[in-house]
Amino acid sequence: MKQALLARNPIPLKQKVPLEGKKKRILVIAGPTAAGKTKLSLSLAQAIGGEIISADSAQVYRGMDIGTAKATPEERSLITHHLIDVCDLPTLYNVAEFYKAAQSAFKDIAARENVPIVVGGSGFYIHSLLYGPPHGPPSSPEVRQQLEKQMKELGPEVLYERLQMLDSEYAATISEYDRHKIIRSLEIMAIAERRVSDFPKPGKLQEQEWDFRCWFIYYPRERLYSRIEIRCEEMVRKGFLQEVRDLEKKGLRSNLSASQAIGYRQALEYLESPQTEEDLQNFIAKFKKASRHYAKRQFTWFRKEPLFRWLDCDAHSHEQLKEIILQDFEQND
């Protein structure tokens, strides 16, 4: 009801939010793939002097552009973006590095008296901003190298079975295809000699200097699935497969996280096939299916996040979504 009233009774927008003596406010715009997060975040940033921080585990890599729906160079020329194109494929990027880099970006943006706007669909990354990064020992190059060798020689199924035997509780929370998390969990247990599930999980908001205003935008499932399928087809038309071919030469397959990203894993499988028309259609079908399943997991994740308020993009126009979020952002409570 409150959201509907806000949509019907817009108030004048200000270019800056006077927050002297209060915690600096940060907008968080989350949502499933193909919900329109980029368009909305750009509009919000233009209205309040915002800078965008990407919360996407694949957009950090240079060259992973089409398949991650990365903001275009033109869009990035209009609004400053952070944590996009920060590393090359041989580098493994994790949530701890994201947390540290995002906190640094918050301070830099606040120093310029601009508004940080976190945008993305990676629930794990966004959760770390609110509750702190997961606990665990620092990575060991020696242990990591050994596990990566085993992953390459034995495959993810064998290492996932080992994880199930050592820590069935944690194994149940990840996919057998998530090579990066399988290796990291086995690495933690080898170094710390304790189960991953035995480490304390951040369960309450960190005491920090930021006031997070969190929104989850979405379309009803059938409408969203249609948008997802259309976007997958558009990505293929824009040259997604050529992008993957180029990235393969730069080490995409060796990056256990990037190579498993939605679309990229299916594309790499296609490139190993005879690449007939039937293979191409199978790839597109698998790409769409994986994207739909990912959206479903995003819904499941954010339903468990109490700070997020949900906005139905079918029930509100783009301008109404923008008004609702900005009016809440400018309230003095």
pLDDT over 60 (residue 16): no
pLDDT over 90 (residue 240): yes
Taking only the tens place, the pLDDT of each residue in 308-319 is 999 999 999 999
Could you give the angle at the alpha carbon of 163 between the alpha carbons of 136 and 297, nearest 5°?
A: 80
Mean pLDDT calculated for residue range 250-271: 93
Taking only the tens place, the pLDDT of each residue in 23-59 is 899 999 999 999 999 999 999 999 999 999 999 999 9
Q: For residue 209, what pLDDT is reported?
A: 83
> 180 pLDDT band (50/70/90 cuts)?
confident
DSSP letter string, 22-88: SPEEEEEEE--TTS-HHHHHHHHHHHHTEEEEE--TTTTBTT--TTTTPPPHHHHHHS-EESSS-B-
Q: For residue 298, what pLDDT is reported?
A: 94
According to CATH, the topology of domain 141-198 is: Histone, subunit A (1.10.20)
By mean pLDDT, which of 44-58, 74-88, 177-191 is the weakest?
Answer: 177-191
What residues are paired with 50 via a beta bridge?
115
According to CATH, the topology of domain 2-10+21-134+203-330 is: Rossmann fold (3.40.50)
Q: For residue 29, what pLDDT is reported?
A: 98
Mean pLDDT calculated for residue range 232-259: 95
The pTM of this model reads 0.82
Mean pLDDT calculated for residue range 242-246: 98
Domain ranges of the chain: 2-10+21-134+203-330, 141-198
State which amino acid sits at residue 166. L
DSSP secondary structure letter of residue 138: P
By mean pLDDT, which of 207-216, 217-226, 230-239, 301-310 is the weakest?
Answer: 207-216
Q: For residue 5, what pLDDT is reported?
A: 31
Residue 44 neighbours by CB under 8 Å, 6+ apart: 27, 29, 50, 117, 322, 325, 326
pLDDT over 90 (residue 139): no
Q: Torsions phi, psi of 321, nearest 5?
A: -55, -45
In angstroms, the Cα distances linking 163 to 152, 178, 186, 187, 297 are: 16, 12, 7, 10, 22
